[in-house]
């Protein structure tokens, strides 16, 4: 660091440094012991001592709060074989390959294997595990005639029975042991669930779907309309095609069918009853309804059972992608956050593919998303996963991998790390995509630099609220330098990454760090040095060595006024339990949702549990107040009542051009709260035919058991609106699902 040459400035810096040290000591001795500690059995301190590891105290860890720590993504079949007796379960018809030659068959990993490795995962600083779909997949090998030979649902995305555990992976008892062991080690479990489809429609089981071994439907004999019978999607920009055609030949569930709705919700409810903390929803772009539609009703039913983290896979490229606006609307309304594909692409471009602008791209995507997403810190970031080439396949450079990991662990959002990344696992066959991005885990070494880096940054996310809850400020970026700050209240983390092979000089910056001297949190293991901060947070120009990752952090004492860091759901309804985590919640605090007081049932300095009162649906700001000091507002969507799906059709529309869209608008929050603006009204309604088709339909998430008034409207390119001038009414079911059909301009 460049130093001031004046003696008095040195003295000031010295005094400030001592003051800062004192504050840190006070935090260490007085504040931290009040917080919860990670069970000591879960840590592997000896191997990972590049940052403080003993008696590390954690921010609140209630089930819906996935922001602290990070999520470790595991493909169960490829992780660890803890029970060789289930490799060839009864009924297995050649689905297992013990030689690991056929990459599309089962290789032996299972629930017991993952359970055995819980200490390894907890020791890495993870706070949650995302497991591949554990439900029973197709029981016959599928041969697509593509030269790949027989294939199995080893990955979990070809469900045959969503109510049973795949016998290659274990039993419900094994599942329960996994959940209990994980919880004991301070880890949450997130289950991957494919609600969009069952299994391939044109061979093998022909999409057949079972409940506890009893067949309910099949694609090739479907009298009760469990499936959409349509070709595979070719136009990935058409909403109808995305939702009602098949994804890669998989039998596409008709979620608008009440029997399908009940089947899928029942299977998810079973997982919740087995204690899981979150769901990763597969292929959310392909299920019906904008603003979440059917999935919003699923999220609402899950959150009614407690606080959980829900995240969906919506594949998109960047904010210019045609489906990006719909993805934003989904994340802001459905109760389900998104896997952040635009950030994945930007990190991949910057660090794995060597784009010309480096992390400048990451920063610009982040700044755009911060404007678009209501809950930026809830979206999930990753550097690779089971559907794309592993980072080291794209660029076999550990320094670059470490830089990407440091960034993904510290920018706004919940980090996800794909299994084996910490062991530098990769297989580059045919470009390393699916299935070669799913090798068997071969080592569990707790001394690799990547493991240590994750351990430290996971621990920091668990302890300094600036990372899980804080805002983001860019300090400096160019092609190889990326310096930014995260801040929550007075707690601050500054990150500096140099991804070039030579030392660079970072220009002077203004930070929120109190004046003082800060040691690199990674103890220089990644070439970071000590940072001196002057009065007012001034950081003088400093040198950053080649491939350096430096982390400087400050944890403030409990703030005088309350601050909300997270609410364990983004969608709720009256009667639901809300868990609000943050700082400075003294007993006697009040919790307001807009102007509505919520009854508090539990209150610690960092966490409040309350019940959502009877109140109208809408978008609200939550505040915690005490002694006339109130926190800034934290956004929350309150649904009017428990949600039910309903498919609405309108016939007899005037002739429309491709640019004209039909929306629904009504007084209730679920229909836009009286607004006709297309950003608030519900739509666009869709059609399987040409734009001139006089009919449109839509699956909408609505409050149960209510009679509602609404109208249709036509929105022109440029925003002009043709009001229908007619009011319709609909009565929603008290449970289950239904349909209703109307004619444009005809009262009913």
Catalytic residues: 282, 313
- Between 187 and 283, name the residue whose CB sits nearer to ligand NOJ: 283
Do 53 and 129 meet the contact criterion of CB atoms below 8 Å apart?
Answer: no
- Between 419 and 484, name the residue whose CB sits nearer to ligand NOJ: 419
Please state, in angstroms and rounded to a whole number, the distance separating the CA atoms of residues 235 and 230. Answer: 13
**Chosen residue from 140, 386, 438, 573 binding ligand NOJ by CB under 6 A:** 386
Length of the chain: 748
DSSP 368-425: HHHHH-S-GGGSEEES--TTS--HHHH---HHHHHHHHHHHHHSSSEEEEETTGGGT-
- Residues 313-332 interacting with ligand NOJ (rule: CB under 6 A): 313
**Chosen residue from 282, 300, 348, 361 binding ligand NOJ by CB under 6 A:** 282
Q: Which positions ≥6 away from 278 have C-beta within 8 Å?
A: 63, 64, 66, 128, 130, 188, 189, 190, 191, 308, 309, 310, 311
- Between 194 and 483, name the residue whose CB sits nearer to ligand NOJ: 194
With CB atoms as reference, the residue minimizing the distance to ligand NOJ is: 157
Instruction: Kindly state the number of chain residues that form the binding site for ligand NOJ, as judged by CB under 6 A.
Output: 9
Pairing between β-strand 227-228 and β-strand 250-253 as defined by DSSP bridges: antiparallel
Nearest to 442 by CA among 107, 681, 183: 107
Closest contact distance (angstroms) between CB of 573 and ligand NOJ is 29
Please state, in angstroms and rounded to a whole number, the distance separating the CA atoms of residues 253 and 236. Answer: 18
Closest contact distance (angstroms) between CB of 433 and ligand NOJ is 11
Closest contact distance (angstroms) between CB of 540 and ligand NOJ is 47
Do 394 and 445 meet the contact criterion of CB atoms below 8 Å apart?
Answer: no
Interhelix angle 258-273/294-303, rounded to 10 degrees, is: 30
- Between 157 and 744, name the residue whose CB sits nearer to ligand NOJ: 157
> Under the phi-then-psi rule, with left for phi > 0, alpha for psi from -120 to 50, and beta for the rest, what region is 459?
alpha
Please state, in angstroms and rounded to a whole number, the distance separating the CA atoms of residues 71 and 189. Answer: 9
- Between 252 and 581, name the residue whose CB sits nearer to ligand NOJ: 252
- Between 194 and 653, name the residue whose CB sits nearer to ligand NOJ: 194
Show the binding pattern over residues 343-382: x = contacts ligand NOJ (CB under 6 A), - = does not: ----------------------------------------
> Under the phi-then-psi rule, with left for phi > 0, alpha for psi from -120 to 50, and beta for the rest, what region is 569?
beta
Query: In this structure, what DSSP letter does residue 23 have?
Result: H
- Residues 217-256 interacting with ligand NOJ (rule: CB under 6 A): 247
Please state, in angstroms and rounded to a whole number, the distance separating the CA atoms of residues 320 and 316. Answer: 9
> Under the phi-then-psi rule, with left for phi > 0, alpha for psi from -120 to 50, and beta for the rest, what region is 417?
beta
**Chosen residue from 121, 194, 347, 362 binding ligand NOJ by CB under 6 A:** 194
Closest contact distance (angstroms) between CB of 167 and ligand NOJ is 20
Do 606 and 582 meet the contact criterion of CB atoms below 8 Å apart?
Answer: yes
- Between 419 and 451, name the residue whose CB sits nearer to ligand NOJ: 419
CA distance to 317, 547, 701, per residue, from 320 (Å)? 8, 31, 27
- Between 312 and 358, name the residue whose CB sits nearer to ligand NOJ: 312
Closest contact distance (angstroms) between CB of 385 and ligand NOJ is 7
**Chosen residue from 176, 387, 501, 659 binding ligand NOJ by CB under 6 A:** 387
**Chosen residue from 107, 157, 263, 382 binding ligand NOJ by CB under 6 A:** 157
Structure token pair of residue 118: 């819980």
Query: Across the beta sheet with 159-165, what order do the strands follow?
Result: 135-137, 159-165, 209-211, 214-217
Closest contact distance (angstroms) between CB of 339 and ligand NOJ is 9
Closest contact distance (angstroms) between CB of 481 and ligand NOJ is 34
User: Considering the rule CB under 6 A, would residue 283 count as an interface residue with ligand NOJ?
Assistant: yes
Closest contact distance (angstroms) between CB of 182 and ligand NOJ is 22
Q: Which residues bind ligand NOJ (CB under 6 A)?
A: 155, 157, 194, 247, 282-283, 313, 386-387
């Amino acid at each position: 660091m460049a130093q001031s040459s004046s003696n008095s400035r040195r003295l000031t810096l010295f005094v400030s440094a001592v003051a800062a040290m004192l504050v840190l000591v006070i935090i260490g001795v007085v504040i931290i012991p009040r917080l919860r500690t990670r069970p000591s059995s879960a840590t592997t301190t000896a191997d990972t001592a590049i940052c403080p590891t003993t008696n590390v105290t954690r921010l609140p860890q209630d089930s819906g709060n996935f922001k602290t720590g990070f999520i470790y993504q595991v493909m169960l079949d490829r992780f660890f074989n803890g029970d060789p007796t289930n490799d060839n379960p009864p009924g297995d018809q050649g689905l297992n390959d013990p030689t690991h030659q056929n990459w599309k068959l089962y290789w032996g990993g299972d629930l017991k294997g993952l359970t055995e490795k819980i200490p390894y995962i907890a020791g890495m600083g993870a706070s949650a595990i995302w497991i591949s779909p554990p439900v029973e997949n197709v029981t016959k090998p599928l041969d697509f005639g593509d030269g790949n030979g027989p294939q199995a649902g080893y990955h979990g995305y070809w469900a045959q029975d969503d109510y049973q555990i795949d016998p290659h992976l274990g039993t419900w008892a094994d599942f329960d042991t996994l959940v209990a062991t994980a919880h004991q080690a301070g880890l949450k479990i997130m289950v991957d669930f494919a609600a969009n489809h069952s299994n391939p429609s044109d061979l093998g089981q022909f999409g057949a779907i079972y409940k506890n071994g009893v067949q309910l439907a099949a694609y090739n004999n479907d009298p009760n309309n469990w499936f959409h019978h349509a070709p595979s999607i070719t136009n990935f920009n058409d909403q109808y095609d995305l939702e009602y055609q098949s994804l890669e030949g998989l039998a596409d569930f008709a979620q608008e069918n009440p029997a399908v709705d009940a089947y899928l919700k029942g299977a998810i409810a079973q997982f919740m009853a087995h204690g899981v903390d979150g769901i990763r929803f597969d292929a959310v772009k392909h299920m019906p309804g904008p603003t979440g539609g059917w999935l919003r009703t699923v999220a609402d039913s899950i959150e009614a059972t407690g606080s959980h983290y829900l995240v969906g896979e919506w594949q998109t490229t960047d904010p210019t992608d045609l489906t990006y606006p719909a993805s934003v609307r989904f994340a802001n309304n459905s109760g389900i956050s998104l896997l952040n594909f635009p950030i994945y692409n930007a990190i991949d471009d910057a660090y794995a593919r060597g784009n010309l602008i480096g992390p400048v791209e990451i920063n610009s995507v982040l700044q755009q998303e911060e404007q678009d997403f209501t809950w930026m810190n809830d979206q999930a970031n990753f550097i690779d996963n089971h559907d794309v080439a592993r980072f080291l396949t794209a660029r076999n450079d550990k320094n670059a991998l470490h830089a990407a990991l440091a960034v993904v662990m510290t920018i706004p959002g919940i980090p996800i790390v794909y299994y084996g990344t910490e062991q530098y696992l990769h297989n580059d066959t045919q470009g390393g995509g699916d299935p070669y991005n799913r090798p068997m885990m071969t080592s569990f070494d707790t001394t690799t630099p990547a493991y240590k880096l994750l351990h430290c940054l996971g621990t920091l996310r668990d302890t300094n609220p600036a990372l899980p809850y804080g805002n983001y400020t860019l300090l400096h970026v160019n092609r190889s330098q990326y310096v930014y700050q995260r801040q929550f209240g007075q707690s601050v983390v500054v990150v500096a990454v140099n991804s070039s092979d030579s030392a660079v000089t970072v220009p002077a910056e203004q930070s929120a760090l109190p004046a003082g001297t800060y040691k690199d949190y990674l103890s220089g293991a990644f070439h970071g040095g000590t940072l001196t901060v002057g009065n007012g947070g001034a950081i003088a120009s400093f040198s950053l060595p080649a491939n350096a990752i430096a982390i400087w952090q400050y944890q403030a004492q409990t703030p005088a006024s309350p601050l909300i860091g997270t609410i364990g759901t983004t969608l709720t309804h009256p009667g639901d339990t809300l868990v609000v985590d943050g700082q400075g919640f003294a007993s006697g605090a009040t919790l307001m949702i807009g102007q509505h007081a919520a009854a508090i049932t539990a209150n610690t300095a960092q966490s409040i549990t309350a019940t959502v009162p009877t109140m109208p649906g809408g978008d609200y700001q939550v505040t915690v107040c005490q002694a006339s000091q109130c926190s800034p507002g934290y956004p929350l969507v309150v649904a009017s009542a428990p949600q039910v799906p309903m498919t609405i059709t309108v016939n007899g529309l005037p002739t429309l051009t491709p640019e004209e869209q039909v929306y629904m608008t009504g007084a209730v929050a679920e229909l836009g709260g009286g607004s006709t603006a297309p950003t608030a009204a519900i739509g666009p309604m869709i059609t399987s035919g040409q734009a001139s088709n006089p009919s449109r339909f839509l699956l909408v998430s609505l409050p149960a058991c209510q009679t509602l008034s609404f109208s249709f409207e036509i929105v022109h390119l440029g925003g002009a609106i043709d009001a229908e001038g007619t009011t319709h009414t609909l009565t929603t079911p008290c449970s289950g699902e239904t349909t209703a059909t109307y004619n444009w301009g005809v009262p009913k």
